[in-house]
Amino acid sequence: MVADRAQVRAGIGTAAGARAAFAAVPVLFLVIFLIYPLVRILALGFGPIAQTGLGAIRQAAVDTDLGRLLLSSAGQALLSTILTLAAGLPVAWIFATYRFPGKELLRALLMIPFVLPTVVVGSGFASLLGSGGLLEKLAGLLTGSAGIHLSIMRTLPAVLLAHVFYNVSIVVRIVGGAWSAIDPRLGEAARVLGAGRRASFFRVTLRLLLPSLAASAMLVFAFCFSSFGVILILGGPRISTLETEIYRQAVYMFNLPAAALLSVVQLLVTAAVMFGYSRFQARSSTIQNLKPQRVTTHAPRKAAEWLLVALCGLIPTIGLLVPMGSLILGSFGYWKNLFATTGHSLFWISPGLAAINSLAFATEAALLSLALGVPAAYLLAHRPSRHGGAAGAALSTLDVLFLLPLGTSAVSLGFGFIVGFNSPPLNFRGAWFLIPVAHALVALPLVIRSLLPSLRALNPRLRDAASVLGASPGRVRREIDFPILRRAFVSAAAFAFTVSLGEFGATAILTRPELVTLPVLIYTALGRPGASNQGQALALSTMLTLACAAGLLAIERFRAPGPEAF
């Protein structure tokens, strides 16, 4: 099979050179907007170290209590990943197996945490888990005694809960997407051949799901390992990650050598995790006959199935709606004030304008990250085993390179933009396009990871057949790849869109008053004292939630031409 595929490929002449040129664009993008600014800021940090030698590195490691910090960051991220998988898999399963009313809405709902600023989520969690919160009241009701103090705010469980809240949609999207495309006949065949339910799941389904499981686990780990806002707000002063420590060292201590050392350590650890993942991913991918959802999903038939769907659907819905509901309830009474033309700070622009900016940047970032991510994913989908040797090693390196934005300290990169884009020819400071560029950078690993598992599983014989029948490479992509991979494309676009909509750190560094986005406006409202400003922040967050839901539903509804809806 491998041989005749190679022959066909050689025959249709999609030259490797053309593909390399295609991939050069995303690589160049990463070099200019990620590697270069990072090198500039790290050089600034390591400058003093170069003069004073290793003693300075040792001093920086002692200053930051590096060993303990590294262990606690990694332990926390590992726990978060396990819990997120545990919470996400049942939901992924019902998404993959059943059609039920409200499915698209739930899918969109699950992504909304992505856009919510951590300050706002923190306040939602506080009313849930904090002193006098819902959890305490519930415990009081159950035990019949008042005065129970059960606040888990600023503890590890609060951080873990928030990480599950933020990241569960990664598991649902990536694993659910792959799961729903598995040919159900494979499992049925196993059952016919005498395998039990369990054996058929472990030997067939789980085996085929491994690449997507690994992809989502790796992404969740990387996000939690470099978590920032959640840690600062819900973790309190006793929990830290490398990223929060980088911020503290750079901004409050102005200890740039320590910040640079931590950035490098964070990058190395994530790169190591990614390298391991990349090897595993390439080995465990299996070519499948991906099936449209019409074939793989069905409405629940028995009462027990309905119950299961309701349970798996309702639990995350409640988990999402309680913090979000407290946000929406808290915003009542502040909407009128929000649209008043007077009494706001200088950095206040009308929320309507901020919403338009947000949506425009999100659309630009989604298009840009797809334009960069699709060629990158195509390049990576060609497995190293077939290239062997140097080509394989080059692909592995590229694979890790495209994941690097995940491990990069956002704080360092933001400051790197200031130092790096300071002088011609890269005198971009203040340019509006840096905002969608930064967003696309953050979204790129998510885009590539949501495309890759399906792209690797795609049966090449379909494409080969099309080519043999005379379809041009472009037509093959349009009529074979795209319809079959539609769900993956939609997920990729949705990830990029939401990441951009919710992005705060980079935007805050790069923004100008007229380019303010909703998250930046939320922080502007929070930056001034008073309950009314707090209420306005909640009202703005509600707006952001609505904008996000509307955008996601629009993306979800996007259908490939033709009747075959995957």
User: Under the rule (CB under 8 A), what is the footprint of other proteins?
Assistant: 41, 44, 119, 122-123, 126-127, 130-133, 153-154, 232-233, 236-238, 248, 250-255, 345-347, 360, 363-364, 415, 418-419, 422-423, 429, 432-433, 508-509, 511-513, 523-524, 526-532, 534
CB of 147 to other proteins, least distance (A): 10
CB of 113 to other proteins, least distance (A): 19
Nearer to other proteins, 227 or 524 (CB): 524
CA atoms of 262 and 246, how far apart (whole Å): 6
- Long-range pairs, 242-251, Cβ under 8 A, ≥24: 242/69, 242/70, 242/73, 242/266, 242/409, 243/409, 243/410, 243/411, 245/64, 245/69, 246/409, 246/411, 246/412, 247/411, 249/63, 249/64, 250/411, 250/412, 250/415, 251/411
Nearer to other proteins, 44 or 264 (CB): 44
Phi, psi of 320 (to 5 degrees): -85, -40
CB of 16 to other proteins, least distance (A): 33
CB of 516 to other proteins, least distance (A): 9
Nearer to other proteins, 182 or 239 (CB): 239
Nearest to 449 by CA among 492, 407, 405: 492
CB of 212 to other proteins, least distance (A): 33
CB of 526 to other proteins, least distance (A): 6
Nearer to other proteins, 383 or 429 (CB): 429
Nearest to 494 by CA among 39, 111, 106: 111
Nearest to 232 by CA among 246, 220, 218: 246
- Angle (nearest 5°) at CA 249 between 247 and 253: 125
CB of 561 to other proteins, least distance (A): 23
Q: What is the DSSP letter of 559?
A: -
Largest CA distance in the chain: 78
> Which position has the token pair 């630009």?
364
DSSP string, 254-288: --HHHHHHHHHHHHHHHHHHHHHHHHHHHHH---B
Q: Which residue type is seen at 216? A: S
Nearer to other proteins, 1 or 346 (CB): 346
Nearer to other proteins, 11 or 48 (CB): 48
Nearer to other proteins, 105 or 371 (CB): 371
